[in-house]
A and B are shown apart, each in its own frame.
Chain A
């Protein structure tokens, strides 16, 4: 098992390397040297920046040198010093800006993942064991609505009703007084009070597909001979369904944790822009629009890394749940 985990972690390294290369290349695509506009911006604000300071930055990030030199300077900073570069727009190191936002995106993604599993598994099992019943049909129709209405549209609709009917603003993840506050217990409670609406919105969009997957997988399983055997031996219906076929039907679920995380990050990004949440979405959008390249690039690298780590966790989970995979490795 340990050997398997180590091997999987080693496989991650080239993937992460490729992700960083591609992210850097994409961020380099728009024309223009960001330092020039940075300096122009500082001067326009009356800041009299020293030529030495400019040269120091030019040297630090390898600007004016070939792209691969710039890339290696950037990646060297990340690996050796945890230095993700400088945000031109915020005038702060990127590493000071991203971590809380990354954290909130992860919390939101995991929260919505758990919510939709909590809904999708029992509902999917019920649909499969009561195939072609009224609730099964109702579920199919509901899941189509879930597929058709994207999260950002739900966000708009919910925002409209909260504003006009309840006179309440659902935007943001914190109340005003906790916005810039350091992490305290009260701030966590405040976050929990706000996070459930966006969490549910993202869950709606993705649960539908998961219900259908559960249903289809379980339908494939419950007609197999081993289920029949368990029934013949006199196991109660509940026990025999939940103990054997449901576990097998869950396998594809665990094996796609990485991709469902990626999907959720996409939903969260768009929804966060609508609800102006303090997640990565709005900040990445702003960074892209203002060509704040290190900030935008860091987000792309980190969000992709999240998927890679998700895939790693799902592989380990799968090996742990399913002895066949463990043995093969």
Chain B
């Protein structure tokens, strides 16, 4: 059990043994967060995933800067273009800085099928910090600088890292913009459900008795109704006239109405376990108020568990939003989220001709996996004194 105010003999722990060898006695005097970090560091997948997530949230925050094109700008001459190949070697075998070739549109005279090939000249070198469409960075500064791109306009030639969709919109730009809604919805939703979960789970675990029974029954009842059909019914009740922001908020609330039960279980379990701890009893005998016991003695001990549980629940939120938007009951166009983008893949013809419309799906998978690994690492590190 997490017992952060005491120093226990730790020499039996194989994980920390290494630390003792490398740094002598420092493991005995290290504060808890340091022990957690040492343990977290050992989980290699969690470390890699942390970097991936930081990258993803950077894209979400600065999507206008990262995206080379306006995600809503259609281009007739570049419909369903496959991902642009990036070359560093030209046809004569000379090396250059990364560049792309001109897309050439070829129409099959019989099937009228349009395909794209590359024209070996001219070369369009890829540049960083190029000028593109106007936007406001973080909603504050007007600018037109973008992370990368080619200086030529989209009407001449494009750099489509993930290809384009049926209307000739750049998938990479769309996936970047989608990150903003999809990734933040998971975060906001999980904090909203934490707020409900902490209150109800806390009452349930700390006071027990009749309240515990009532709250547990409510949780069981909510979990009896299959989530997706329930969420579908709830979001169908959102009026179609709502603005993008209102729908976003509505969906978040709807997801949290079910998701708080996950958080409440964790909080309740921690409270139940800790209620019987010696240091809680000691604090009570010393005359601490209930509030002080909870905030000063119990909260620090289970904060790390809460953070781990939060992290493990974000992927559920992301998957739920994607699923709902995908079938047309979540966010709706013109909003851009990964689920909305995946609607394009629902069309079998479009999917067969341009499989890169599945790209948002892989963005979902990567972020869900990353959150799972980080959560796994946090859970292991949550109790640095356990063996």
A interface residues, Cβ below 8 angstroms from B: 15, 18-19, 22-23, 26-27, 29-31, 144-145, 147-150, 152-153, 156-157, 159-160, 163-164, 169, 171, 258-259, 262-263, 265-267, 269-270, 273-274, 280, 284-285, 288-289, 291, 296, 299-300, 303-304, 306-308, 311
Please measure, in the bound complex, the distance between the C-alpha atom of A169 and the C-alpha atom of B349, giving whole angstroms.
12
Neighbour of A303 across the interface among B226, B315, B327, CB < 8 A: B226
Please measure, in the bound complex, the distance between the C-alpha atom of A31 and the C-alpha atom of B241, giving whole angstroms.
12
Q: Which 9 A-B pairs have the closest CB atoms?
A: A266-B228, A29-B237, A288-B236, A148-B369, A265-B226, A262-B226, A304-B225, A148-B368, A269-B228
The answer on a CB contact under 8 Å between B323 and A150 is: yes
Q: Which of B28-36, B153-161, B294-302, B350-358 touches A?
A: B350-358
The answer on a CB contact under 8 Å between A308 and B361 is: no
Give chain B nearest CB distance to A322 CB in angstroms.
20
Query: Does B106 count as interface, using CB distance less than 8 angstroms?
Result: no
Contacts A153-B361, A262-B226, A304-B225 known; A26 to B322 CB distance under 8 Å? no
Which residues on the A side are within 8 Å of B348 (C-beta)? 159, 163, 169, 171
Which residues on the A side are within 8 Å of B365 (C-beta)? 148-149, 153
The answer on a CB contact under 8 Å between B224 and A303 is: no
The answer on a CB contact under 8 Å between B326 and A270 is: yes
Beta-carbon nearest neighbor of A274 in chain B: B346
Please measure, in the bound complex, the distance between the C-alpha atom of A164 and the C-alpha atom of B224, giving whole angstroms.
40
Which residues on the B side are within 8 Å of A259 (C-beta)? 223
The answer on a CB contact under 8 Å between A308 and B237 is: no
The answer on a CB contact under 8 Å between B358 and A164 is: no
User: Which residues of chain B from 316 to 368 have a CB within 8 Å of any chain A CB?
Assistant: 319, 322-323, 326-329, 342, 345-346, 348, 351-352, 355, 358, 361, 364-365, 368
User: Which residues of chain B from 134 to 163 have a CB within 8 Å of any chain A CB?
Assistant: none
Query: Does B192 count as interface, using CB distance less than 8 angstroms?
Result: no
Beta-carbon nearest neighbor of A302 in chain B: B229
Give chain B nearest CB distance to A297 CB in angstroms.
8
Please measure, in the bound complex, the distance between the C-alpha atom of A299 and the C-alpha atom of B223, giving whole angstroms.
16
The answer on a CB contact under 8 Å between B236 and A289 is: yes
Which residues on the A side are within 8 Å of B328 (C-beta)? 285, 289
Please measure, in the bound complex, the distance between the C-alpha atom of A178 and the C-alpha atom of B229, giving whole angstroms.
28
Neighbour of B327 across the interface among A19, A31, A270, CB < 8 A: A270
Give chain B nearest CB distance to A308 CB in angstroms.
6
Please measure, in the bound complex, the distance between the C-alpha atom of A23 and the C-alpha atom of B224, giving whole angstroms.
13
Neighbour of A300 across the interface among B233, B319, B342, B345, CB < 8 A: B233
Given A27-B233, A156-B345, A263-B226, 4 extra CB contacts under 8 A:
A150-B364, A270-B228, A284-B229, A300-B233
Give chain A nearest CB distance to B188 CB in angstroms.
21
The answer on a CB contact under 8 Å between B352 and A160 is: yes
> Can you sample 16 A-B contacts with CB below 8 Å?
A15-B221, A22-B225, A148-B369, A149-B365, A150-B323, A152-B326, A171-B348, A258-B224, A262-B227, A266-B226, A266-B227, A269-B228, A288-B232, A289-B329, A300-B229, A311-B224
The answer on a CB contact under 8 Å between B239 and A31 is: yes
Contacts A160-B351, A285-B327, A307-B226 known; A153 to B364 CB distance under 8 Å? yes
The answer on a CB contact under 8 Å between A288 and B364 is: no
Please measure, in the bound complex, the distance between the C-alpha atom of A305 and the C-alpha atom of B50, giving whole angstroms.
41
Neighbour of B225 across the interface among A267, A296, A307, CB < 8 A: A307
Contacts A269-B226, A296-B233 known; A160 to B358 CB distance under 8 Å? yes
Please measure, in the bound complex, the distance between the C-alpha atom of A19 and the C-alpha atom of B346, giving whole angstroms.
32
Please measure, in the bound complex, the distance between the C-alpha atom of A57 and the C-alpha atom of B273, giving whole angstroms.
57
User: Which residues of chain B from 204 to 233 have a CB within 8 Å of any chain A CB?
Assistant: 221, 223-230, 232-233
Which residues on the A side are within 8 Å of B315 (C-beta)? 147-148
Which residues on the B side are within 8 Å of A306 (C-beta)? 226
The answer on a CB contact under 8 Å between B322 and A150 is: yes
Neighbour of B372 across the interface among A144, A273, A288, A304, CB < 8 A: A144
Beta-carbon nearest neighbor of B376 in chain A: A144
Beta-carbon nearest neighbor of A161 in chain B: B355
The answer on a CB contact under 8 Å between A164 and B326 is: no
Please measure, in the bound complex, the distance between the C-alpha atom of A292 and the C-alpha atom of B357, giving whole angstroms.
32
Beta-carbon nearest neighbor of A154 in chain B: B361
Neighbour of A144 across the interface among B232, B355, B369, CB < 8 A: B369
Beta-carbon nearest neighbor of A169 in chain B: B348
Q: Which of A18, A30, A150, A169 has the most CB of B within 10 A?
A: A150
Which residues on the A side are within 8 Å of B319 (C-beta)? 150
Query: Does B177 count as interface, using CB distance less than 8 angstroms?
Result: no
Give chain B nearest CB distance to A204 CB in angstroms.
13
Give chain B nearest CB distance to A244 CB in angstroms.
26
Query: Does B234 count as interface, using CB distance less than 8 angstroms?
Result: yes
User: Which residues of chain B from 222 to 277 have a CB within 8 Å of any chain A CB?
Assistant: 223-230, 232-234, 236-237, 239
Neighbour of A269 across the interface among B232, B234, B368, CB < 8 A: B232
Query: Does B373 count as interface, using CB distance less than 8 angstroms?
Result: yes
Which residues on the A side are within 8 Å of B361 (C-beta)? 153, 156
